[in-house]
Structure 1
Amino acid sequence: MSLTAISRPDQSWPQRPGPRPRTTTVNPHEQLDQNAPHDLQDRLVSQVLTLPGVMLGESWISVPGSRAFLLDASVSKGGPEAFFGPTTEFAHIHPAHDGSLHAKLPAADAEKIMAAGWGEPHPMAARHGPPINNVMLYGPRDEAELATLLAILRRSYDFGLGSVEA
């Protein structure tokens, strides 16, 4: 599966099967059950790193042990709403015991992704009201979910590139 070939320009998302996982309602925002197997987490990271201009680094905003997906400054043309803080971090994956992610997404995509059951607003984002574009994405439980999460992360990447409108 090549992440560079994954795209959902129609912005439609399949429904995530089953109930939503339990999560914390305060910082740190964590997924408490239905956690992603470690091998799927590693494959997700490897696939995201195949995107041009993406590097792995420490998260500016998340808990220790989180891995941040950073855009090289030469390709990061998205607005400040596409990144966490004063960095080019467009998404991060939490430590292996958790396996959930946070991603910056265009608000319209974020709404559809959350409505389809793939994530929820970050507790701090929810306090500030719409538009919400800081989304917790639940870790993938199987191959099909991995493919959907890679497509969602591709949207986040495109948002960081500036090729998707806020």
Structure 2
Amino acid sequence: MTTNNTFEIPKRDGERPQTTSRNPHIQLNQQPEDRKIIEDIMNWAFSLPEIKKEHSKISMPGAEAMCLSEDKMCNDCSAFMIENEFAHFHPSPDSSMHLGLPIMDANYVIEQGWGELHPVAKMGYLTHNFIMVYAPRNEAEKEIVKKIIARSYAFAKGELTNE
């Protein structure tokens, strides 16, 4: 594993969206008006090297999972929710996602207003580095969400430590 490099994102504008407090953990408002924003992120995410697009093994029907090739997975890390799935996108109209990050990154994303702890992590069934990332509302927010996904991807590959 390499040392964690600087990860900076701006504060998210406005209030946090409404979400459910239990499973299914979904975002209830503040989705983008243009679904193309989400499609662009998904196309980018699923084009990353060693990523397979699969139906999520842990989320609601219709959720699409980012699954890392098993030979590229980090050893003894908490990046994965189940098997080789480290992130998944929720179907429309929700458009949020869940993913794993190093704990410091997860806390930082929450502090900056871009996400919240997964309720299953609050209950102790997942570690506290699994969060919901809110759906981006515009092109500028899409780029921030891509940065968060890139961190999750690096974590899953073992390029970041869980510090």
TM-score, length-scaled by structure 2:
0.91
Aligned residues: 158
- Counterpart of 1:123 (choices 103, 119, 124) is 119
Aligned equivalent of 1:74 = 71
Equivalent residues in 2 for 1:9-24, closer than 5 Å: 9-24=5-20
Percent identity over paired residues:
37
Q: Tell me, what secondary structure is at the counterpart of 1:136?
A: strand
1:52 lines up with 2:52 in the alignment: no
What is the TM-score of this pair, normalised by structure 1?
0.90
Give unpaired runs (5+ residues) of structure 1. Answer: 1-7
The 8 Å contact of residues 73 and 158 in structure 2, kept in 1 or not, is answered as yes
Deviations, residues 49-107 of structure 1 (Å, cap 9, x unaligned): 2211011001010000000011011211253511012x111100001110000001110
- The residue number in structure 2 matching 1:104 is 100
Question: Which residue is 1:84 aligned to?
Answer: 81
* CA distance in structure 1 between the partners assigned to 2:127 and 2:99 by the alignment: 14
The structure-2 alpha-carbon separation of the partners of 1:161 and 1:54, relative to structure 1 and needing over 3 Å to count, comes to same
List, as ranges, runs of 4+ consecutive aligned residues in structure 1 with deviation greater than 6 Å.
none
RMSD: 1.8
The 2-side partners of 1:41 and 1:130 are apart by 26
Cα distance in 2 for partners of 1:100, 1:23 equals 10
Distance 1:78 1:35, change over 3 A: farther
Residue in structure 2 matched with residue 165 of structure 1 by the alignment: 161
**Deviation per CA, 1:13-67, whole angstroms, max 9, x where unpaired?**
2101110000000100000000133211110111112211011001010000000
